[in-house]
Structure 1
């Protein structure tokens, strides 16, 4: 039925005046009743603004009627709710004159689909005829009462309108963002400029929040609004992160941080009708706070770093002081033990020499047993002195490139005998094991000491594991351990399943004379000796232990890039004497007498001197000697090394053998014997003396043989100097006399010769100049002559090579193309032939 009604005809036929205008107050329709009471035609007013169609003028004093009408219409636009004017004085033009009329008007908004005001319907009642009541009974009283009531309503409406407009202006101009959401769908009734600027759009009035701000989907705000509306409890947000549309880039979102409150608005009956929103954009404050917090964190971190640096500096200072005190203590102990060892070894040498001399004569079985017992005591005393020197890092080391895997395997039988049948021995050697630079004899002594200590800790049996492998100690590890240099090492570890060591004792186990064994079972020098040897070898030692579980000691010895040099021990050589002349220089008369007697018993002619000055006087007198056998530590102005140099300068064929129980730094530097130095440590046995003297004499004779062999003149016809090439030869030889003789031979053959004493010096010389030939001894200190030649030929492929050696090595030398090999001693003819072959294009 409603669909069939024609509402336009109904309003047209209505007796009350109706007019319709749009949101701009343009008249769009009016019924006949309206046209009749206003005395206007539709063509005159439709399409015109209401204030143009019905202008004010003298008939509207003060423009009060126009003001009331405009205020009512603005209220409808702002509130989207009906508004009534109880009484308005508004004149109607009647031709050239205006007829004063009184009206009562109601303005009703007509909303579109989005909830915005599209049209305004005005219903108007002409109340001018109320004046006619004055002509009837009691008209004046009735009129006055009606008009007073109308005026009171009008004044109340005006006050409410003014208050409403003032509130809207306050909200609109407030710096905070504000909005009012009506109903359970949260429809925007009010939103000030700050709110519209915040959300990046102005078309939100009359729209539900989910439709107006779809970008809030997935954020907590819709849920919070529903909760506030349902519970009537306010919600306050602090610096809540919010993603809103960017007004400058509508397709993207920007993040802001908001302080706000959702305040529910309740009706008198307690029902929630809407939610008032008020808040501030605190993004900048949040950014500043975060920046300050970041600066605060950075400052605190800087303070922590600086504090840590100061603590580390203080700790480093304390470590340095402790290391200095330890170094000073070790130096003091070293000086003390050195002096004690020197005198002690001299005493042991006297005892040992005389006991051995007694062994050479006839003796009963009982005397032989007693002599053996006494010599055993001497050996134990010598071992004790050696351990003292090892701890103080005063033992003379003879390091060379060795393979720990080979050493461990060679010691297998010895270790098993030392450990006994109750101890199970296991060795683990890593594949690709590097060589290390160490004294092999001292490595074996250290390993034996550790094995014996482990055996004693495993009373009743257990397992001993020996491991050898490659290791890298990095910068971080070096910072945590004094005297450790970062780099590549070869690790030797000895682990047992014994009783272990208490944590409070671990820092003391390397101190001299400290022992955890019961009285009479140990001297406390075993680990001290190992510690001193490792430190003297530029290595590192670390001990790990747990009570009841066992102990592991790890030795880290520096890696060597040189090939392993296996030297046959002198102990396997025969004991033999000779007929040469030996000059013994020894300040202790008893030691001197003992040594002289042993050498004479070996068949040598022996001369003796108490100090270096008297020895020089003897040599200058013209007495020929074959071997200078001198103690290192002697009284007087002439030191043992200086004595050796001056004697060899006067008699170049003389060999030199040093002996000492304490070498100081005379012939030992960096804990290592100087190159070419022969040393026999006190105390020594007669067999040791015989082998070492014979070995030293033979080596010297071999080195000088080339200079003593008569050389036949070359049969090659001489060439004019202009036609003869002058090959440049780099001669590498560590023995000074052999170097001098070889240089003379090469110069005699027309070579330009540059000399070097080791591989490092040779490589520097090759870098500085051009050479045709490398002539090198194989047994150089440090890097061998074979390795030197391989490195040199890799850099300079046209370089010729001649090897010289008195200890073999021809097979190894043959591996290098074009290399020639000379066996010492060689003559001028052999050298000349080798030079010719090395220079030939197809030499090989």
Structure 2
């Protein structure tokens, strides 16, 4: 079929009036040689066709008219960018000649409107179109309406469209990344995370192969450990960067993507034989190339900006999840046995010193692990010895003394772990409004006994000072730690001052940078020996102590700092040798007033109280079950969330749910939410030994920290059941 020819218009007055005032397309129509078009010369067009063309040409909306049985295309300036390279060749020509790749999709829609006269409309309708040299899926809001001739017959189809491709792609990208972000943490294992992510991305982009290649360092190449591939050879193994592209490594290490389309005159490298296109996305951390996301396609394609952004953001998110999962697995392996953990940490210390030349940092890590091993071994020894003696010689009087000794050692171990969690900012706090004046007044007798007669105490705290939002028990421990440190620094006696204020009050400490305005400070100052600059620089390191063996674990100041930071505040310490020390906590003020709630008693269970106990650790579950039964509760146990949900779905209804937080299938909080979907008012108590859970993440559920005594467990359950009424 001949194509219409476009010639320069000599005079606008020579063109039919209905072709005027239409911009660039109008000029093309005026200068076209219509002998090659089925429409013929414009003067011979029907009145209906002339009228609709005169209307669409100056319109600002994207409009295309398909006229006659051959659906000859006429459109305006606003529409021409929509078809890209098809313009201007498609103008005045049958649609099949230029819309061939989507004709099987488009023609039934046009024919339906032409034969029935009924309008067709759709939102975000997908169309596969080749408008930039490569095929791509685009999206449009469309309205196809019949255009009638004077005799009532349908002469053509008027299509008003709006290209929504950019918006749809953005929404799909955001939805994809959101779904990925919600799914990956629950998979746990790095291998499962990687397998799930590459499969999902391959489906989303229509790729033939997707995988991660981990950088081998020094530009040597990359290693592919897992991949998703369909109908193409595997890439598993190690490969040089140059085997993909001679310039690939230089691009990737600079943070640039590498996009390639392979054609007959530019075939792919041997490693990518059979591929039509490739997209390689770098993953950098601290400006160092860590991994590459490899995405390969069977056919050449348009690399849309949104697809490239999707690949880049997916690569960052997935690699971060993989790295985190690997770190968690490494930590779990280290925690399997204390001796193995210490040995591995020491090996890592030596290797890191050679590789990173960070002797100071590795010295602190070694000190931390050694201190943990030393203190825990001291506490485990009487526990193990007491239990062995009780088993061999079950004398009641002797057993009572041995059990008391074991419990004291266990309590010391519990306090040590609590301090470690406080330093690591992983303790589950119970923040509440606390009046500093009242707290210090209640502790005054304990402080005085701890200091002795040679040290005087001054307290300068205004009772009208705003309450602070903090875990009251942890704040008491922190204050006591600071008081004891001050006592040890005043061996010959002295003066200890406890003061508090708000913000930059006169005579108070300097407000630290980076903290929110209006924080309340609590300061403990002494007139003791003070610290040298060297000791001051290291005093917050865990297990660093200048005291003699047995006089301190070196966790006091790290615990105080951990509590302050985790509570949303800060911690600072100033000291001069021979002049004393000032230690200051900064804590956020509480918006709520002080609570005045009398403590509830912790009686035994009422007859018939039923507890659903869920914990995937058999030893912990068995010990908790025995404590509950001794308290008089009827206990039904489950070793996982799925087993517990099956019990509830079977119709069994407990009076209270007691669940561990860290479980393999799902967290205790997530499990409790699922239970609340079935039993909306069921009281829930979550027990946890290591979880940095904020109040928002707890969704209002009560928490009991491990390890706990039977009295603490009884008190928590009694409070829950009393509230339920």
**Is TM-score (shorter-chain normalized) higher than 0.5?**
no
The TM-score normalised by the length of structure 2 is 0.45
Output the TM-score relative to the length of structure 1: 0.39
